[in-house]
Amino acid sequence: MSEQDFPGWHGTTIIGVRKGGKVVIAGDGQVSVGPTVMKGTARKVRRLKPGGMDVVAGFAGSTADAFTLLERLEAKLENTPGQLARAAVELAKDWRTDKYLQKLEAMLIVTDGTDLFVVTGAGDVLEPEHDVTAIGSGGNFALAAGRALMDSDKDAEEIARAAMAIAADICVYTNGNLTVDSLEGTA
């Protein structure tokens, strides 16, 4: 699919950082359609509460597609209470094999405060090996900045905010209007 067919695909940055028993997910607020900024205050980080469980999710890609995936993830979590990894794998399986879901253009970063995963339409459920992950058009910038800051005295939220500021300075599809949410780990 070309960018002409789907001009909004490259329009966001989401980062997940796990440090000091806490996981933070931060996302910018810019919604772009091609070269035009349509909105600067979108919330691309959401808290889900399926069956009383707290999960924070951030999404990049089509908003409608991401909300479809978030609804599916909530349903999977209700069927597998307290098992984010299993729910994420089940979502990825459905996303990869279901003819309707295969057309969805989005990616997710999800956490329950302990686990941190990237879920993709290619059937991937990836856990970052350096406790930092990022998606979207500015994802590589945020990822590099976040990894560089992991050995600093900064906590998870400070790292996420600093990495997002760097991404916003470099990526034209990312702004500095952040939504940040976090969960404490259970371990």
Residues serving a catalytic function are 12
Mutual angle of helices 84-97 and 63-79, in 10-degree steps: 130
Distance CA 132, CA 16 (A): 6
Indicate the angle between helix axes 156-170 and 139-149, nearest 10 degrees: 140
Q: Which amino acid is at 69?
A: L
| H runs (alpha helix) in 80-126 | 84-97
> How far is residue 95's CA from residue 85's CA, in Å, rounded to a whole number?
15
